[in-house]
Amino acid sequence: MRCALLRLATAAVVISCGSSTPPPATASAASSSDPTSTPPSDPPSAPATPAPIPTGGSVLIGEINAPKTFNPRPTVEALSSQLVDCYNKARAADPDLRGKVTLQINVNEAGAVLSVDAAPGGHANSPSLVMCVSDMMKASAHFPRPGGMATVNTPLVFRP
């Protein structure tokens, strides 16, 4: 939003200051025919630095849909700080990221996470967020044994 306002203000200044006469030639343009002059060098460019990872943020865990004999809520709640870490990493690339995403978590009979996908829709359905959550859950989520394969639908709401 600020960038759009800055562009609009810059355009207004350029329009109000513009004239129909071209700007006068500079001394460097006049001396360009001089073979002994050296061309001006470009200033060194600064190395590109990645955007800083935002801090803060929160996650609200909604009503989890799972088989009746399987309660994944304690495991998901225990991972809430890591979910927020993934959210903050995704916000570094997309500062406006917020809202709901519903995760479809596939758990095997031993309680290990096989895959994590996002259900269609939701304002926070970001590929980078889902990938981070998937990697994190595969590495550190230890669900109780579901008594067979289980698909767990977990709605999450992320806020900055």
We report the CATH number of the domain holding residue 137 as 3.30.2420
Neighbours of 5 (CB within 10 A): 9
Q: How confident is the model at residue 35 (pLDDT cuts 50, 70, 90)?
A: low
The domain in which residue 139 lies consists of 63-159
CA distance 66 to 72: 7
DSSP state of 33: G
Six token digits for residue 56 = 């803060």
Of the candidates 95, 147, 153, which has an alpha carbon nearest to the alpha carbon of residue 124? 95
Write the pLDDT tens digit of every residue in 4-22.
433 433 443 333 444 444 4
With respect to residue 83, please indicate whether it lies within any of the assigned structural domains: yes
Write the pLDDT tens digit of every residue in 101-140.
999 999 999 999 999 999 998 889 899 999 999 999 999 9
Biggest distance spanned by C-alpha atoms of the chain? 87
With respect to residue 38, please indicate whether it lies within any of the assigned structural domains: no
CA distance 124 to 115: 18
SS3 67: coil
With respect to residue 54, please indicate whether it lies within any of the assigned structural domains: no
Letter for the amino acid at 57? G
With respect to residue 5, please indicate whether it lies within any of the assigned structural domains: no
With respect to residue 30, please indicate whether it lies within any of the assigned structural domains: no
Residues 128 and 51 sit within 8 Å (Cβ to Cβ): no
With respect to residue 48, please indicate whether it lies within any of the assigned structural domains: no
Provide the number of structural domains found in the chain: 1
Asked which of 18-27, 43-52, 133-142 is least confident by mean pLDDT, the reply is 18-27
With respect to residue 92, please indicate whether it lies within any of the assigned structural domains: yes
CA distance 62 to 72: 12
CA distance 160 to 56: 6
With respect to residue 15, please indicate whether it lies within any of the assigned structural domains: no
